[in-house]
A and B are shown apart, each in its own frame.
Chain A
């Protein structure tokens, strides 16, 4: 098994190297001076320029530049932002937790809602329950996330005034950002009214999370439905049915554990869709996360920030897909030959 894991790790390194190369090419293609774009230093002084030339090997050929580019980025040296002049790495650390928080809660909701519905649809093929679930998931999948967000703001935020429409926490609560996760920060802080702060943070979370959870939930439903139904058609299910096992036992003991494998590998492919909709959701609800930060960077033509955001988001997606692969390989011997093959 270790052989496969090492192999996967090699593939990971290679893929990341190609990703860095793509970003490197983009930095070259972006308008403006390459030294400025790669470091974020606008109109650098002569000393600074010499230093940049040395650290990024700008006087050497493109291959040396590429290698030192990787070297700098891996050591957390992302340059500074055009607009704020702050270190981009620090800014990423500041904005990333908000995005992770949003995506995490949305994924959990999507799994809690989508998984049972998908199983329900799978065990009752061609019945009203199946059609209902499938119809709802098709409709939900077709709703553009920005429209949903705006409608939610219009109805729940402005018309009914149930929920706050922007931000993570009311400005009344002065919570120092320690971890970046609101609930943890409130817990760590020495606020007087923690109870109220928790409630406020929660009410800020409701709309963005539900908006973001819709599309992943429909995907979970469809993937679960297909995978479970495929397993239910297998011969071993018929064998256990003929032995007189109860339907519940068949589903929970036999079909589900086997269906989990394809579900997991398919879901990890959907991560980039989740991140994309998270970016849009953040913009609509003024959620101070990576997406909002990146879109702002586009408006400001802040090239170092754009390239850093690209590296972080895509790197994260590659990392997650490799990790799921490794987990799948470790738990199912069946997959090992497939990974080792010409795949």
Chain B
């Protein structure tokens, strides 16, 4: 990686993080994915300023207008309207907040708790580790959607409950990923060396293990975002998720199912939105995974 524009014959060796970043940039699809990801983040922040209409405003004179590229479409309703005359484009933009934005928040908080618990179970030995592991196994065996359904059934239907439920379902996956990563590192020689130097558990973790497992955790986090999006949308589709007045992609899709014959765009467009955002995140995750593997391989 010698720099050609340097006048000195100096060889610059990139740090591992720089190396990973360069590897990541060498995959065009992953870069496209990260652009889409960035756009979605921006959209979720500025949705109210760029949405042409309020999401629930009912244009009573423009029911079921097809998307603008259709001969009967109208440019004022870029992606068409639904059976109540609500503009689909505005709804979709507000839906970025609920579906995409809240899955980001959910993943971050699930990652926080899951990683802490995973580290505790990974670093400990004997009975404590064994107890944590069995609780982990039992919770992992409950399908995430089922867990979310039960929690929503207990605590009622609201956006915060849906987020909590999806988050609780994600925590065991973070725990498992962290636990395996820590366990993979513990028998390494440099860990043993640090221990022989007299480092205590906390020092070993923060100085030796954490830098080595960070990559695995980042990859796991990107995957978890896509799982969270699908879970929130699925709950919305089954009508046990985010309650009615909030714009959410899964709910929009479920609303469209009744109109599938006369207005197929009410189903295809929200579905496409979910698909594109999940695909973008998976591409980023895939790119990171490859970059990390090649950076250290």
Contacts and interface: CB of A to CB of B under 8 A. Distances in A.
Interface of A: 11, 14-16, 18-19, 22, 26, 29-31, 135, 138-139, 141-147, 150-151, 153-154, 158, 272-273, 275-276, 279-280, 283, 294-295, 298-299, 301, 303, 306-307, 309-310, 313-315, 317-318, 321, 342-343
Contact of A11 (B134, B139, B143, B146): B134
Contacts of A318: 137-138, 141
A321 B141 contact: yes
Contacts of A14: 134
Interface of B: 29, 125-126, 129, 134-135, 137-146, 149-150, 152-154, 183, 226, 230, 233-234, 237-240, 250, 253, 257, 260-261, 264, 267-268, 271, 274-275, 278-279, 282-283, 286
Contacts of B125: 342
Given A30-B153, A138-B286, A19 B238 contact: no
Given A146-B237, A150-B257, A342-B129, A313 B142 contact: yes
12 contacts: A30-B153, A138-B279, A142-B278, A142-B282, A146-B237, A147-B253, A150-B271, A276-B146, A276-B234, A283-B238, A317-B141, A343-B183
B21 to A, nearest CB: 21
A314 B145 CA distance: 12
B143 A272 contact: yes
Given A272-B140, A314-B141, A342-B125, A142 B226 contact: yes
Given A11-B134, A150-B267, A154-B260, A139 B279 contact: yes
A14 B153 CA distance: 27
A292 B218 CA distance: 36
A144 B275 contact: yes
Given A150-B267, A276-B144, A141 B282 contact: yes
Nearest to A322: B137
B154 A29 contact: yes
A303 B149 CA distance: 11
A141 B230 CA distance: 11
Contacts of B141: 15, 19, 272, 314-315, 317-318, 321
Given A154-B264, A306-B153, A144 B240 contact: no
Binding site of A, secondary structure by majority: helix, strand, loop or mixed?
A: helix
Nearest to A22: B138
Binding site of B, secondary structure by majority: helix, strand, loop or mixed?
A: helix
B146 A294 contact: yes
Given A283-B238, A295-B238, A313-B142, 7 more contacts: A26-B154, A153-B260, A158-B260, A315-B141, A318-B141, A342-B125, A342-B183
B164 to A, nearest CB: 13
Q: Which of B154, B239, B286 has its CB near the most chain A CB atoms (within 10 A)?
A: B154
Contacts of B238: 280, 283, 295, 298
A226 to B, nearest CB: 10
B143 to A, nearest CB: 4
Contacts of A310: 142, 146, 150
Nearest to A319: B141
Contact of A144 (B183, B257, B260, B271): B271
Contacts of B135: 18
Given A146-B237, A151-B271, A158-B260, A138 B283 contact: yes
Closest 5 CB pairs of A and B: A147-B271, A142-B279, A18-B138, A272-B143, A142-B278
A279 B148 CA distance: 13
A301 B153 contact: yes
A272 B230 contact: no
A11 to B, nearest CB: 7
A31 B129 CA distance: 34
Nearest to A131: B29
A11 B141 CA distance: 14
Q: Which of B150, B226, B240, B275 has its CB near the most chain A CB atoms (within 10 A)?
A: B150
Contacts of A30: 153-154
Contacts of A313: 142-143, 146
Nearest to B183: A343
A144 B234 contact: yes
Contacts of A299: 239-240
A310 B260 CA distance: 33
Contacts of B183: 342-343
A146 B230 CA distance: 10
Nearest to A318: B141
Contacts of A342: 125-126, 129, 183
A146 B142 CA distance: 20
B144 A272 contact: yes
Nearest to A153: B260
A136 B191 CA distance: 40
Contacts of B137: 11, 15, 18, 318, 321
